[in-house]
A and B are shown apart, each in its own frame.
Chain A
Amino acid sequence: MVTSAPKTGPAPFAAAKAKVLGCDRCGTCLPACPLFQVQDVERASARGKNALVRGLAEGLIPPDREAQEALEFCLLCRACTDACPGKVPTDEAMVQVRQALADTLGSTPLRSRWIGRVLRRRRLVGLGAATLAGLRVAELHRLLPPQLVPRETSRRAYLKKHAGPALLGASAPRPEPAVHPGAKVAYFQGCGMKMLFPDASRSTQRILAQLSPFQQPDHPCCGLPHLAHGQREAFLDLARENIQAFEDADLVVTDCASCSGSLKHLTSWFAEDPIWRGPAERFSAKVMDLTEYLVAAGYQPQRLPDATFTYHDPCHLARGQGIRQQPRQLLKQAGKLIELAEKERCCGGSGSFHLEHPEAAAAILQRKQANIEGTGAQVVVTACPGCLIQLTRAADQSEGAFQAMHISQVI
């Protein structure tokens, strides 16, 4: 039992194994992993999942449904990578191993396959958005489970509550954009914003319009849900469509942290593709998160002196893109910001994770809710529809202690 040379294993898992080679199983990730807090068994931790990847690659673990389920049980929140002394990219390994397992066993679970199919079709997304809008008008959306159709708080309701009607419709000052003066700005409206948070999406558009005229090309999903569930080809198809759809734009601004995160990182997926490498690189270079763009463009939010906020950092924005200061800067200009304990801890949303693992997601959210309530803030603000689904749910559970809103609704 002396240390032996690393074995090479079943080929499909080689790419994932290469990502976890730096894991020396020290355990630093254990207290960082939100799922390990919920299920304190090795399989649930980042270290455990990295070991499973090696186990698969070295033929010690059979590539079966159980392995697939274990590896689907990851939020891809990168908290482990952040804590890891060797910065092992467990989230990237999970994406790769899920792909390898999906290639072997077929995609799972059923729900994500279904979601993947819907999100691939622009018409279905549009239809979904229209249906939900109709349901909202008729107040019938309350009949559906809140995980599927979160109860969105409208900006109108927010202003009514916190500032009074006098401020409704007041326009923010219009500074000259500091970035790319005269740049052609395009809005990337992610599926989550379009279908689940139309009021927040309208707020984003209103803000963008205050700064400069912007385009809104017809475009499909960013493809992250597909990538996360082993549907690489679908992801690549969608990426190519998006690259083309935004060819004319100089800046692609999105108000979804997951969309901006995945769109900014298209380059690596096309690194070996002589045709798409260049366009992917150019496209990724022009993607900006809404808050990143607003701060760079010198946007001045309306100040509502009575409003108190706390801010939840979306994993894909803070750890994924290093965007932490911009949302805070905007919020401090708009009202009083009270920092949240464990502000960067995942809320448990993570794409469709909350649908597939409702109990684990609820347990993670419980801690988030307690932290939010601890601030005493009236509004918890975030910058990702995935998080907003969860936070809206926490707001419901808090029975009015706080509201949950997208940042574009409060600035």
Chain B
Amino acid sequence: MKHRWRTRAGLVLASILALAMFLPACSGDTDPTTAPPTTTAADPDANIKNPESFIMATIGYPDSLDPAYGYDTASGESVQLVYDTLLTFKGASTTEFLPALATEWTISADGKTYRFHIRTGVKFHNGNDLTPSDVEYSFERGMVQDYGAGPQWMFFEPLLGGYSSRDIEPRIPLQQITDAVQVDGEWVQFNLIAPYAPFLQILAGPWGGIVDKEWCVQNGDWDGSEASYAALNDPDAGASPLQAIMNGTGPFKLERWDPGVEISFVRYDAYWQGPANFERVIIKTVDEWSTRKLMLQNGDVDYAYVPATNFAEMEGATGLTIIKNLPTVTVDSFFFQMSISPQSTMVGSGKLDGAGIPLDFFTDINVRKGFSHAFDFGTYLQDALSGQGVQAASPVINGLSYYNPNLTTKYNYDLVKAREYLQAAWGGQVWEKGFTLTLAYNSGNLPRKLACEILQAGLFAINPLFKVNIQVMQWPTLLRGMYTGLLPAFQIGWLPDFTDAHNFVVPFMHSQGTFSGWQNYNNPEADALIAEGISSIDPQVRQQIYDQLAQIYYDDAPGILLAQPLGQRYFKDWIQGFVYNPALPSQMCNIYLLSKTYK
């Protein structure tokens, strides 16, 4: 019995193989829902595959489809297709806005009251009307849920001055949350605790997505009560009631989420700005680069994510539209550890005897400046980023508000200067005895590996007694090393939560900031300026502050700012209408604007 079946399976396979050779390569018009395209020789669109769909092949997959919970770019990408925000970024700008679910807004003179007039006549995908109380509910619900590793701190900081609903035990009173956002007729008002200039940018992020109150409550989400607040606050991973269901007002409705594989959306015909060009949007996760590349070349996907290290091999590819020189809002840096952990195994002898470094090695500014001048930026840009990047002069990089293109606060590769500083370091002992330390990078990250090698070569060229060892680590191990001070210096990049200068100067320079905190870098002057910068509403004052901070970063050299990579986008040449906006989570930016045609 079994045997017969097996041989039959083998036969079936063999015959299929034979058959497949004679099958037409493309089995089109099998989809009964779309009329077959009129194929005449004159129609340039006749050869477009899946004309009604926009299909992407990328890496990574969403954590959650709940706008208040997701904090990764893949989640944001899906959320922004389905949920509208009060306002959106205007074209390619990261600092100017267009009305969306709010038709207009006002900001009080003291910068503490934001009022939004809510659009009427908008319907959610389930047919419910959008009301101002839905808007109020969306933000209060987010703060009530306040997932521990989620984005809600962005609302707590401006509205309540804290960082989380659990800043006090067991959690802050519900009253504080509900007082922060209020309905006033057709308007919704946000009451800030102090001026917070990037507030509009935060509202335009995926976490600013507006949900339907009635539908949320039906699905077991916050019902407004204290008990429900206690029950829903800080959910376990994936435990949000909106984890895998969606109901927004956006151009697309969730069709199906196949976690780890793909997620698909269908057009919402009653969208308030008019129906989208695509009947479907499908985002596929394809881990293997070669497979993604073939899918793109075959036109089975309209867009594929291309890693920077593969830009070169895509040069001259046909049938594609390649868009280059897109500033990405991220910058990798070396961060020097001011107070290395005694447990560290990367400091050799732990003394300044040539065979190691003392734990406070980088507290001497001459060491930091010497290292900064010993880094060959030109080679780094060429080899690590295929020439697709620019050296950063400040943590406030291109794409952020208050980015200043005229700053001159860049270190240059200058071995003479590097030698001068290192000769002065530690009263001349560094020069005399040399040192040995170990740098680490995370496995698979080629640019970071090259950066380590470039620094190693630069230092060795100055003095053969300067020995840098390089070690590869798995990402979790590297993270632990950064977090607990085991690494003498570490390399990492930051991604924006919102595209305001404040969002970068904090992690890079504030004593409580993420990276600077790990580094044990503490500069009271910088802390004061950062606080002043966020609470000021005068753009000129803010510009001065961030330029001053750039100067401090240069003078203090707590780390080496490397480069801001320039991104590239690769899609089939039948995709039109791409507008780049680095503030949007999707690699495709605003998918609603895209169309599929040669005309």
Check if A and B associate. no
Interface set of A (CB-CB < 8 Å, partner B):
none
